[in-house]
Amino acid sequence: MAIATVNTGARLPFRFKPLSFVIAGCPMIRMNRMMVVFFSAFLSLLLAGTAFAGKRNLISGKGGSYKPSIAKSWNKVKDGEIEFVLDLSKEVKKGVKVTPALVKASLEKKLGKKFGCKVTEKGADKVSVTYTGAENDFLDKVAKTKIRAAKGVNLALESSVSEGGIRAAKPVRSPGAGEVKALVKKVGKGWVKAKVFESKSKTLAKGSFKVKLGDRKVAVKNAILFTPKAKGKDGVWTVDESKDVLVGK
């Protein structure tokens, strides 16, 4: 019986390429590798965004077991009332720190109709929340409700020559008695046009208005806080300079 043999010394009629070179040279495989890289990057961004979004709630959890999030602590005042203490270092949007006003606006909008939710600011870092219904049902909904920045509120930037660059404007606090907090929509010559975001003034409670802020540096989307003094014949408000006049974010 004849036995087939192979002449190991013979040269192959073609040049052998390692498998790795063949794969690298295949357009379809190169495209698939690019798609994998792109998808991995997209997934990472998506997960990062989801993780951040989860931190925009006052608390997390359900069914009577809750953990701090934007609220670092809370206590039951009585049936139908809970006080939350906010962690003011937490952001509800990149560059926008949580405030009692944002908590009030978000909870009352989402839970006001079903639970009769009312939020009262108790200072710079505390809110009192009243509601109707079962406590755990309400807290479950609170845990699912995101605290959102006011529409159009972004990180306000102002130039700082002394610091040699750009620095973030400081957050403007919630208004006290007689004060108005508003979002700047337009900057004119000697006046700004703004829209009330939150007001504790009886004379300027809501809507858009014009106000004179002197020589203060103001930009569109800045937040301003002041006490209205009088409305001139030209329809432009003046401010009470004896009290706080703040510009920031």
- pLDDT digits 0-9 by tens, 105-146: 899 999 999 999 999 988 889 999 999 999 999 999 999 999
Structure-token pair, residue 246: 């703040």
Angle subtended by helix axes 135-144 and 100-115, to nearest 10: 130
Q: What is the pLDDT of residues 182-235, one digit of tens each?
A: 999 999 988 999 999 999 999 999 999 999 988 888 999 999 999 999 999 999
pTM for the predicted model, two decimal places: 0.47
Q: Tell me, what's the pLDDT at 96?
A: 83
Q: What is the pLDDT of residues 181-192, one digit of tens each?
A: 999 999 998 899
Q: Tell me, what's the pLDDT at 50?
A: 43
How wide is the angle at C-alpha 74 spanned by C-alphas 70 and 75, nearest 5°?
170
Structure-token pair, residue 199: 């007001």
Strand, helix or coil at 214?
coil
Bridge partners for 228 per DSSP: 239
Q: For the chain, give the mean pLDDT.
A: 79
**Range in 46-55, 63-72, 88-97 the model is least confident about:** 46-55
- Cα–Cα dist 11/226, whole Å: 90
Separation of first and last alpha carbons in the chain: 94
* Structural domains of the chain in order of their starting residue, each with its CATH number: 59-144 (3.90.76.10), 169-248 (2.40.50.140)
Q: Taking the CA of residue 249 as centre, how many other CA atoms within 13 Å lie in the half-sphere pointing to its CB? A: 20
Closest by CA to 138, choosing from 207, 196, 82, is 82
Q: Name residue, tokens 């909904």.
A: 141
- Calculate the dihedral angle through the C-alpha atoms of 104, 106, 109, 111, rounding to the nearest 10 degrees: -90
Do 136 and 127 meet the contact criterion of CB atoms below 8 Å apart?
no
